[in-house]
Structure 1
């Protein structure tokens, strides 16, 4: 399975990479696929065959697709239940990419393969995938409007050494569960990242928590509107030493009407 690694430190995890296990290749066209079973969400019939993208074709293709497909509501189905997410329209490339892969059935071949309690659940890949999305990244659409509050949907990426432009993974996503935040922690993150939270954002972090250490580093492009209880159930899954659930948590994704 392509790697996605979430590192931890005393200041909380703040590096989320597009690769999880070093022993396995990342973002290759041979990505595995696992059709989700025992789920409450019904997989959407693929709209068309998924044409793999490249770094040269990705932006133009996603831009054109996004203009044609204005969908912004999706349901992630798992054996624990459904998670409904709203995709932000002010991150158009990430929204278009998620919708495009969903309509092609790509995400129906994935699973939540990394779970870190009090931080995030991460999905999109599987050892069994046969469908290829192509070797591309999504240009960052990081905006101070979208913080890593509890329940947001964001894309993983490679680290700064090999990805200084902070471009996102083509397909690996995560949902933040997070932890309680104090105002002192927020002020420390403001200084470290050179940002200033609005009073509303401060209140949001204080009331529901999240992962401010990820702000300005990864593109947030949506949020859970129903089903955080399902996210919490996945978060409680027993995991191995690599944070991989001991029992596979397959997922499907479908686009639904507003």
Structure 2
């Protein structure tokens, strides 16, 4: 309206017609602008993710893996970035992680369980909107080429043996190991308990870098941190409340980076 009144005030008697044309033009412009303001912007559709079932999970993930060989990912948090590389010999776990990351599922998640000296667990959130169906991933634990739970190991959570004797992994809940250095005697005891044997290199890693060997052969490790172990430590050190849930939320976003 201010612009219309300004046009009317400067009109000269001999320019009445021109002024009327200007006023009509201005009114049309204002009307169009008002309509534009009153029309809400289009609402962006929420990302969709096709739900999987126990019957469809393996074939869908197997097919997805053929065209999605991505293996390097960036986990962004308010405390810094963590870069992880996924293993090629755990194809179902890798395909599942890639699929959820590319669909934006993990962008709605957070590190919701933090146990200092043990691990940080993420992938879920009470505020999640996306659904993915009720399914589990068959375990991919290979004793001949065992991926150990060294510090920085990326693995999938699962229900205990009572409910899940096949050791099938969660569809989306993952964890990153923090752990601590271990002695040779501890490692020998775990070897006997789990009926397996560490290589000299794996023993060296557990003695120096550290980790959680008690989880070996029990959960599928499908990747590892290649940058940002210090960020894992920062997250592990946050203050937690009931259920080991961080007092200040540690949300995460997970994106593919160039391999």
Give the TM-score normalised by structure 1: 0.81
Once the two structures are TM-superposed, the CA of residue 49 in structure 1 deviates from its matched residue by: 2.7
Structure number with the bigger relative contact order (C-alpha 8 A, sep ≥ 6) is 1
Q: C-alpha distance in 1, partners of 2:206/2:64?
A: 34
- Offset at 1:110? 0.3
Matched residues in 2 for 1:187 and 1:111: separation?
35
Q: Distance in 2 between matches of 1:238 and 1:194?
A: 37
Moved over 3 A (4+): none
Correspondence 1:230-249 to 2 at 5 A: 230-249=231-250
SS at match of 1:54: coil
Whose radius of gyration is greater, 1 or 2? 2
State how far apart, in whole Å, the 2-side matches of 1:59 and 1:236 are: 37
Alignment deviations for residues 161-213 of structure 1 (CA, whole Å, 9 cap, x no partner) = 11000000000000000012000000000000001111111111111110000
Instruction: Name 1:65's counterpart in structure 2.
Output: 64
Which residue does 2:228 correspond to in 1?
Answer: 227
Structure 1 stretches of 5 or more lacking a match? 1-45
Which position in structure 2 is the counterpart of 1:181?
182
Secondary structure of 1:50's aligned partner: coil
- CA deviation after TM superposition for structure 1 residue 242, in Å: 1.5
1:1-258 superposed matches below 5 A:
49-144=48-143, 145-258=146-259
Q: Specify the SS of the correspondent of 1:202.
A: helix
Q: Deviations over 1:189-245 (max 9, x none)?
A: 000000111111111111111000000000000000001111111011000131110
Between stretches 238-247 and 210-219, larger displacement belongs to 238-247
| 1:24-73: CA deviation from partner (whole Å, max 9, x where unpaired) | xxxxxxxxxxxxxxxxxxxxxx9x73101000000000000011100000
Q: How many residues align?
A: 213
Residue ranges of structure 2 left out of the alignment (5+ in a row): 1-44
Pairwise CA RMSD: 1.3
Give CA deviations for 1:100-154 in whole Å, capped at 9, x if unaligned.
Answer: 0000000000000000000000000000001001100000001232000110100
Q: Is the Cα–Cα contact under 8 Å of residues 48 and 130 in structure 2 kept in the other structure?
A: no
SS in 2 for 1:74: strand
